[in-house]
Amino acid sequence: MTESKVARSSLRDPSLAPEGHLKLDWAGRHMPVLNEIRAEFEAGRPLAGRRLAMCLHLEAKTAYLATVFLAGGAEVVVCGSNPLSTQDDVCAALAERGVTVHAWHNATPEEYREHLNRVLDTRPDLILDDGADLVTALHTQRRDQLGEIIGGSEETTTGVLRLKAMADEGALAFPMFAVNDAYMKHLFDNRYGTGQSAWDGIMRTTNLTVAGKTAVVAGYGWCGKGLAMRARGLGARVVVTEVDPIAANEALMEGFEVMPMVRAAARADFIVTATGCEGVVRAEHYEVMKDGCVLANAGHFDVELSRPDLERAAGRPRRVRKNVDEYRFPDGRRVYLLAEGRLVNLAAGDGHPAEIMDLAFAVQALAQQHLVERAWKLPRTVLPVPREIDLRVAELRLRALGVSIDRLTPEQEAYLRSWRPE
């Protein structure tokens, strides 16, 4: 069976599988919550007879999640959600474990689209997306398949925004769980995951110090909060830029400086974007940057640091290190763009730590099970993940850590339910 999955897959190099198996085993050993769910899936096979299409960053933790769905009885077919985050050894190992894989590192835009289409050619009934690419392709080019889809789940902030825009227009044809919005996802993954993994990507790629330098963080959502907090921990002076006055106040109360990008860019040694919006750093900002400024993006799409503006001002870049492009302006200043402005933690690193992805992917696994159990009964819109799932993941995590907490006494429960004055 596994041999035919390898044959059916589109892989860069199947001989890389041994290295990939080691990575999957390492990730799996550090995902205790998902392992509990895996054991339940093996026993109950809740996804038997279902075909799940996944479009995710194909690194070890994601691959491990795909094997959990296999354990639950699903047929699983995957493609990457970003050409630079796909790891070829992981893909080769995953195909050997019984998942059909259509992805390779550094796929061209045409190859990327082809992989997505090959996944959808299998006519899935469940979708797991990271950035809403599968859902968008289904609603734009493959409308004949829409009626076959029970529903899906979306991993990331940007994807949820896209889905909500579709739902607002009444265009979403099946229910989609906003996994990103679950507490056990965004409070941990977006904050501690992005905070650690983006700086890890930046530091391993540049081999430069952060301490004593000025780090500008664009966007003070959950990802920006994590980036700013970790930059401070690394010894940087942190400046936050925002468009939302409430978030700007939050950043001020945390003790960060807040100012417009045009002033922040002139001071920056590092600029890291995490806004979900395009053109956050653009021509007027490149004009004022200091020589040596390092530019990295931690948002889903490569649109936050404008590359067209950079190339208009500085011409074609020179690759000076793996994942580092040097742009030289006519006045001699140089700036360094990491990972072509794509997600720096995944394109120039291994993504979030395994213990963090454990939580997000536990939510994913339970959301997919919920979809199957409620098949065809859920409304065709963007749905919050049920609170029981959040609580279940939180409890499993505490149990895995050996941490116990208090319970309300019956008197306390009655007190919290009462409202009449004594």
Interacting residues with ligand ADE (CB under 6 A): 56-57, 59, 61-62, 130, 155-156, 193, 345-346, 351-352, 357
Provide, rounded to whole angstroms, the least separation between the CB of residue 351 and ligand ADE. Answer: 3
CA angle 153, 157, 163 (to 5 degrees): 55
Q: Supply the minimum distance, in Å, between the C-beta of residue 361 and ligand ADE.
A: 8
Nearer to ligand ADE, 317 or 351 (CB): 351
Q: What are phi and psi of 75, to 5 degrees?
A: -90, 135
Give the phi and the psi of residue 348 in degrees, each rounded to 5.
-125, 20
Residue 169: CB minimum distance to ligand ADE, A: 26
Work out the angle between the directed axes of helices 194-206 and 222-233 (0-180°, nearest 10). 50
Closest to ligand ADE by CB, 28 vs 317, is: 28
> Between 77 and 261, whose beta carbon lies closer to ligand ADE?
77
Give the shortest CB-195-to-ligand ADE separation in angstroms. 11
CB of 154 to ligand ADE, least distance (A): 11
Minimum CB distance to ligand ADE smaller for 82 or for 241: 82
- Nearer residue to ligand ADE within complex by CB, 155 or 242: 155
CA dist 315 and 188 (Å) reads: 39
Nearest to ligand ADE of 62, 273 (CB atom):
62
CA 217, 218, 220, 225 dihedral sign is negative
Residue 193 CB, nearest distance to ligand ADE (Å)? 6
Cβ-closest position to ligand ADE: 351
- The candidate with the shortest Cα–Cα distance to 363, out of 99, 178, 194, is 178
Select 335 or 344, whichever has its Cβ closest to ligand ADE.
344
**Residue closer to ligand ADE, measured from CB, 31 or 313:** 31
Least separation in angstroms between CB 79 and ligand ADE: 13
Nearer to ligand ADE, 214 or 273 (CB): 273
CB of 346 to ligand ADE, least distance (A): 5
**Closest separation in Å from C-beta 349 to ligand ADE:** 9
